[in-house]
Amino acid sequence: MPPLLSVVVPAYNGTRLLPRTLDALYASDLPKDCWELIVVDDASTDGTSELASRYADVVVRLSGRPRGPAYARNRGFEAACGEVVVFVDADVCVHPDTLRRFAWIFARESEIAAVFGSYDSAPPAPGLVSQYRNLLHHYHHQQNGGDAETFWAGCGAVRAHVFEEAGKYDEWHFPRPQIEDIELGHRIRSLGYRILLRPEIQGTHLKHWTLKNVIITDVKERGIPWMRLLLTEGRTSTMTSLNLKTIEKVNTALVGLALLSVLLAAALRQPRWLGGLALLLVPFVTNLDLYEFYRRQRGLFFALQVLPLHIMYYFLNGCSAILGYLLHHTVGAPGPAPEVQALAELGVKTWPPIPAKAKGSGWLRNG
């Protein structure tokens, strides 16, 4: 009998973190005959494939240059046998009950097409930025359980036939880790299917964040692409889930105005413009629950240190929205990579644009 779940883990140069991720999967309390493990090696230059072969039922080896998680996950899906495909990032350690909870939901709630969970409240990476960032993700998902407009591939699952019907991840437009899972969620919802966020389904995020990669991720890899996607779909005013709630949009605008007042005070040498900093009181008051969460988790001093980081979070959101708007109205909607565009102009219409089994690639099925 085919397994109920096919767990797909995309990895690039994953020998450092992948053993912890795969060990966590094998510590699951769901019997192994109910799920299979597929690891996709996205053209790694280390021993990722050899390491994965000690754990996985299937190892998909991709050659050439890395093509990103959208492409890798699609290739993993093509090797899958399960009724439900579970996507787990290579730096996420699922909890022992994660797979069982996925299986339980899909077995009992036939109207649900996709489900995703949350990071837990115990990220191991040290440092203020890493702890702030990973706990922020945990907090948002814990506060927003229920029906969702998007999908999350860090620890998420979707029925195989729905994933196929939706067209899989858009590897044409997302050759890097960006918002390929969010965009997939939009397509699943547009087909009339339901997506659930279940906060009790959790995994530990192993990623170490620095201030630099927070800025790059929030602006270049997430914020700008997300804004351009919403503008392309005409949904900037209708999306209200997670960090797109109305109060979050208001806080982003107020932080921008407060910082603008500082610039005006400096440029005009008129201290009265600094009164605009009072606008920061609104984001502070509306986020008291978040700061209390940080205090409970890491103490008062940590919660105080978080304040400027959270102001920066809103500032980056504002920058992303402005830059995304300008790009949309000057360059237009995002286009695929040049090689993909060339294939399309030659009349290649199959999905994906590059053959699944390129030269030098292949599947290795253990057992």
* CA 38/CA 59 separation, integer angstroms: 6
Pairing between strand 362-365 and 58-62?
antiparallel
d(CA 17, CA 19) in angstroms, rounded, equals 6
Q: Between vectors from CA 351 to CA 347 and to CA 357, what angle results, nearest 5°?
A: 105
Give, in order, the Cα–Cα distances in Å from 216 to each of 41, 138, 212, 213, 223. Answer: 25, 20, 6, 5, 9
* pLDDT at residue 176, as a whole number: 86
Is residue 16 a contact partner of residue 47, using CB atoms and an 8 Å limit?
no
Helix (H, G, I), strand (E, B) or coil at 364: strand
* For residues 342-363, average pLDDT: 51
Q: What number of CA atoms fall less than 13 Å from residue 299's CA on the CB side?
A: 4
| pLDDT tens per residue across span 54-111 | 999 999 999 888 989 999 999 999 999 999 999 999 999 999 999 999 999 999 999 9
pLDDT range class, residue 343, cuts 50, 70, 90: low
- List the structure tokens of 223: 């914020």
Q: What pLDDT digit, counting tens, does each position of 145-157 carry?
A: 999 999 999 999 9
Nearest to 131 by CA among 301, 10, 12: 301
- Percent of residues, the chain, with pLDDT higher than 90: 70
**pTM: predicted TM-score of the whole model, two decimal places:** 0.88
Give dist(CA 191, CA 164) in Å, integer: 12
pLDDT at res. 167:
92
pLDDT at 357: 37
In tens, the pLDDT along 7-43 reads 999 999 999 999 999 999 999 999 999 999 999 999 9
**Following CA atoms 16, 20, 22, 24 in sequence, which dihedral angle do they give, to the nearest 10 degrees?**
-170
The C-alpha R_g of the chain, in whole angstroms, comes to 21
159 vs 35: CA distance, rounded Å: 14
Per-residue pLDDT tens digits for 318-339: 999 999 989 888 887 776 667 6
- Measured CA distances, 160 to 5, 61, 69, 101, 148 (Å): 9, 22, 18, 17, 19
Q: Cα(166)–Cα(185) distance, rounded to whole angstroms?
A: 9
* Per-residue pLDDT, 359: 35
Task: Mention every residue, 6+ apart, whose C-beta is less than 8 A from residue 359.
Answer: 63
Distance CA 312, CA 153 (A): 25
Query: What one-character-per-residue DSSP string does 3-19 give?
Result: -SEEEEEEESS-TTTHH
pLDDT, tens digit, 9 for 90 and up, residues 114-166: 999 999 999 999 999 999 999 999 999 999 999 999 999 999 999 999 999 99
Q: For residue 31, what is the enclosing H or E element? A: none
224-233 and 300-330 are packed helices; what angle lies between their axes, rounded to 10 degrees? 50
Which pLDDT does position 135 carry in this prediction?
97
What sign does the CA torsion over 153, 90, 168, 66 have? positive
pLDDT of residue 63: 87
Give the mean pLDDT of 288-302. 96
Q: Cis peptide leading into 123, omega within 30 of 0?
A: no
Is a pLDDT exceeding 80 seen at residue 352? no
| 358 pLDDT more than 60 | no
Burial of 346 (0-12, 13-18, 19+ CB in 10 A): exposed
Q: For position 95, what pLDDT does the model report?
A: 98
Long-range contacts of 131-140 (CB under 8 A, 24+ apart): 131/298, 131/302, 132/294, 132/305, 132/306, 132/309, 132/310, 133/209, 133/214, 134/205, 134/207, 134/209, 135/293, 135/294, 135/297, 135/298, 136/290, 136/310, 136/313, 137/205, 139/290, 139/293, 140/242, 140/243
The pLDDT of residue 356 is above 80:
no
pLDDT in tens, 230-254: 888 876 655 555 556 788 989 999 9
- Regarding predicted confidence, which is higher, 234 or 301? 301
| pLDDT confidence bin for 340, thresholds 50/70/90 | low
